[in-house]
Chain A
Amino acid sequence: MFACIYVPDFPVQAVLLDESKERPCALLDGPESLLKVVVCNEAARSAGISIGMTKLQAEVCGVELWKRSPEDEDSAQAILLDCAHGFSPRIEVTSPGTVVIDLAGSERLLGAHETVAALIKDRVEERGFETNVSIAANPDTAHCAARGFRGITVIEEGDETRRLSPLPITVLEIEPDVLEILETWGIRNLRGLAALPEIDLTERLGQYGLQLQRLARGATMRELIPAGLPTVFRESEELEESVELMEPLCFILNHLLEELIEQLIERSLATDQINIELELEAYADRETNALPSRSGLVPYHRTVKLPVPVQDAKVLLKLLQLDLAAHPPHGAVKKVAIEAIPARIRYMQAGLFQPRAPEAAKLEISVARIRAVIGATDSQGRLRVGMPALLDSNQPDHFQVVQPGSKHLRHAIPPEPQLALRRFRPVIPARVELNAGQEPVWIGFLQQRVQVINASGPWTNGGQWWDAKGKWLREEWDVDIALDGNNQPSTYRIFQELTTHRWFVEAAYE
C-alpha cells in the first residue's frame, strides 16, 4: 500500500507555515514591474482572488499579498520529507507539497491503514501544515485521492474506480489542450473518463489518453522513484543584532544543532562531521570602533570531525564550543550556518565480558578539552593529544600522533622487561671531550661536567640521504656517567651529528 501526503496551495502554506491558515493570502511572482498572482489559498479565492491577477487588482480584494519565496518552499519541503521519513525509508517526492510513502511491510508496526493515515496527518499538522492524506494500493491512485478528497481517505484494493469516479478530471494534471478536448466532449469527472471506450480514446488522444483513463480507473502500477538521502544537512540563521559573546552564540548553535539532529534521527542517521560557517562583521580597528573596512561580511569556517557518528546535540554543541573557544572568530557574528555530514549509525553488540573502554563521544569531548589546555599541535605539526603511532623509518624518535581509532594491533609482550628510554625533547646540546681513541671521556651538559665511566659505540645511523632537508647521519653512543651526588652511574644515550659535528644528549635509560 502507498500513502500520499498532499499539501493544498503548498507555496502559500510554506509562507504561512507557523501562522494561521485562515487568513486570505495570495503569492505574487514575476518581474517587479508586472507582479501577478501565481497561487492563493481557499480564503483568498473566496475573497475574489484568481490566478493571473495583477498586484493592483489583488490589492483591491483586501487580501495579504506576499512575494513567492523559493527558500521557504524548499524549507517546507524538507520538513515534509522529515515527516515522511518517520514512517518509511522509501518515499517519493512527486511534486512540491506532494510526497508518496511506500508502506509495504509496515502494517504490523504501525497498525491498520486508517490508523497509519491518522498518524501521518497528525505528524504533518504538528509541523504546521494543513494536509490531505490518502492510502491506496498504487501510488497514482493515492495521489489522485489526496488531491481530490479532503482529510483522510483510504481506498481498498479493487475499489479504486468507484471511489475515484466523483473526482473532477483536473485532479489528473492534464495538459491544457487535452483538457480542452475532454471538456468539449462533456467529460467533467473521472467517471466519464473511465467509461470511454479504450480503442476510440486511443485513436483520438493516443497513448496519453489511454494513460489518463487508466489513472481515472486507478488501474496503473508503477515503481516509486525513491528520494535520495541528502549529502549534507544544513541549518542557518541570520541574526538581527550581531553577537560578540560565546554564550549567546551557543544558544543559537544549540537551536540549530537540535534541528539538524532531529532531521538526522528522522532518517536513522548520525553525523561524523560538522561544518560551521559564520559571517562576521569586519572592523579595521576594533579598539576605536572604527567603521568597517569593507561593506561585506567576512566568512569564517570551522570543521569538527568525530571518530564515530553521533546523534547527540549536546556532544556536538560542546565540541563546537571548545573549538570556537580555541579558535575564536575575529568579529561579531551576523549569520550562522551549520552543516552536518550524514553517516550511518554504528551498532555494536555490547558483551558482558568485553573490556571496558572510554565512551567514544565522551572521549572526543575530553580530547577537545585537553587540546584547549595543552594546545593542538607541537612545533613539528604533530598532535599534542592522541594515540602514538610509529612511522616506517629508522630515524630515531620518528612518530606521529593520531586521533583515537578502533583498529588495534597486538604485539607480543617480551618474556623479560625491556630497557626503556626517557627522551629529551628537544635534544640537549652537549660538549664532549674525546680521548686518543676518539671515545668520549667527559661530557658537559645542563651546566655540569661529568666523567664517562663506560661507553659503547660508535653506532652509525643515517637515512634519507637523497633529501637535502630530511637526511640525517649520526653516531650514537651509550654511556655510563656519574652525575653529581650519585655514587652509581646512570646510563644515557648521546650522539654526534656527522654533518655538523655537534654533540647532543638524546635520552636516558630508565
Chain B
Amino acid sequence: MSSVAVIRAQVERRIPGALTVYERSTPEVFSSGISVVDRETGGIPKGALTQLCAPVGITSGRTTLLLSLLAQITNQKEEFCALIDATDCFDPESALAMGVCLSRLLWARCSGHGMKAVEQAFRVADILIQNGGFGVIALDLGNVEEKLLRKIPLTSWFRFARVMEKSLTALVILLTHPAAQSCAALTLHFDAATAEWSGTETVSHSRLISSVKFNLEVGRTRTKKPVQRERSYFAARPQWA
C-alpha cells in the first residue's frame, strides 16, 4: 500500500467522510414557459436560488420571464406561488394576460422605502420559506439600487441557499446585479431590449409596439456545463399585437 493510501486510510478512520467529495444532486427544474430560456438553462431549478439581473430602469425582460414562470406553475401545475414585492411594482393585469392564476399567487407588498423595504422583503421571504408548500417564491428587488443590495450580508444569501436545498421550492430573485454570487444555482443577465415599432414614423397615433426582443446571457448554472458566454434572445408581444 502506498504512503498516500496509508495516510488516507488513517485520516478516514479518525474523521469519516473527511476526504469524501460532497456531490450535489442534480436539482429538479420548473419549465419557465419560454423555450429559449429552458434550452439555455435547463429550467429554473427547484430547491435553489435563481437570480435574474438587469440594470434599473431598462426594458430587460426579467418581469416577462418571471410572469411566464408564475403562469406555468400556478396555471399548468396548479401549485401556489408567492411574490414578495419590495417596491410594489407588480402589475396584476399583465400577470393575468400572461395566464397567471391570481388566486394561487400570494402577493406581499412591502411598505417601506430604501433599506427598510429590503429588510421587510427578507423577513417576509423567511416567513414564506418556513411556511413551505409554494412552488416558486419570487423576491422582487428589481428596482432596489445596487448600493443598497451591496449592504445585504452574504450570509443572508447562504442561509437562504441552505434552507432552500431541502425544499422543492424555487427561490427566484430579481436584482440589479448578481448579489447572491455563488449561492445562486442559476444567474441570468439581461440587457436592454429592442422594441419593434409598426406604423409611420412621423405619425405617432399610427405607431404601435409590435414586439420586443429581449436578450439574456447565462451567467452561472449548475444544471448545465459552463459554456462560453453567449447571448440568447426571446421575443414578447404586447397584448394588442
Interface residues of A (CB under 8 A from B): 355-359, 362-363, 366-367, 369-370, 373-375, 378, 384-390, 396-397, 399, 401, 404-405, 407-414, 416-425, 437, 439, 454-458, 477-478, 480, 483, 486-491, 507-510
Contact = CB atoms under 8 A, between A and B. Distances in A.
Interface in B63-117: 63-68, 71-72, 75-80, 88-112
Contacts of A477: 204
Given A374-B124, A375-B111, A378-B111, A363 B92 contact: no
B121 to A, nearest CB: 9
Contacts of B92: 388-390, 399
A382 B223 CA distance: 41
B15 interface: no
A85 B237 CA distance: 63
Given A399-B92, A456-B208, A490-B57, A412 B99 contact: yes
Given A418-B238, A422-B89, A455-B207, A510 B59 contact: yes
A357 B131 contact: no
B98 A483 contact: no
A435 B229 CA distance: 43
B61 interface: yes
Contacts of A488: 58, 191-194
B106 A437 contact: no
Interface string B164-200: 0000100000000000000000000001111101010
A486 B64 contact: no
B91 A384 contact: no
B228 to A, nearest CB: 23
Contacts, number: 231
Contacts of B128: 366, 370
Interface of B: 33-34, 54-55, 57-68, 71-72, 75-80, 88-112, 120, 123-124, 127-128, 130-135, 142-143, 168, 191-195, 197, 199, 201, 204-205, 207-209, 212, 234-239
B131 A358 contact: yes
A19 B83 CA distance: 57
A408 B104 CA distance: 7
B190 to A, nearest CB: 9
Contacts of A437: 204
- Most B C-beta atoms less than 10 A away, residue of A370, A389, A455: A370
Given A378-B109, A387-B102, 16 more contacts: A357-B133, A369-B127, A384-B109, A387-B103, A409-B103, A410-B101, A411-B100, A417-B235, A419-B239, A420-B66, A423-B89, A425-B88, A455-B207, A456-B204, A490-B192, A491-B212
Top 9 nearest A-B pairs by Cβ distance? A488-B192, A358-B133, A413-B99, A510-B63, A388-B92, A417-B236, A420-B94, A366-B131, A355-B78
A411 B96 contact: yes
A397 B95 CA distance: 12
A370 B191 CA distance: 33
A237 B61 CA distance: 59
A359, A439, A509 — most chain B CB neighbours (10 Å): A509
A486 B133 contact: no
A417 B64 contact: yes
B209 A456 contact: yes
Contacts of B98: 413-414, 417-418, 420
B110 A374 contact: yes
A78 B83 CA distance: 47
Given A399-B92, A423-B90, A490-B58, A357 B79 contact: yes
A409 B101 contact: yes
Given A389-B103, A418-B237, A508-B59, A487 B192 contact: yes
A408 B75 CA distance: 9
A22 to B, nearest CB: 54
Contacts of A491: 59, 193, 195, 209, 212
Nearest to B86: A374
18 contacts: A356-B133, A363-B133, A373-B127, A384-B109, A387-B104, A405-B103, A408-B101, A408-B104, A411-B99, A411-B101, A416-B235, A417-B98, A418-B236, A423-B91, A454-B195, A486-B58, A509-B238, A510-B64
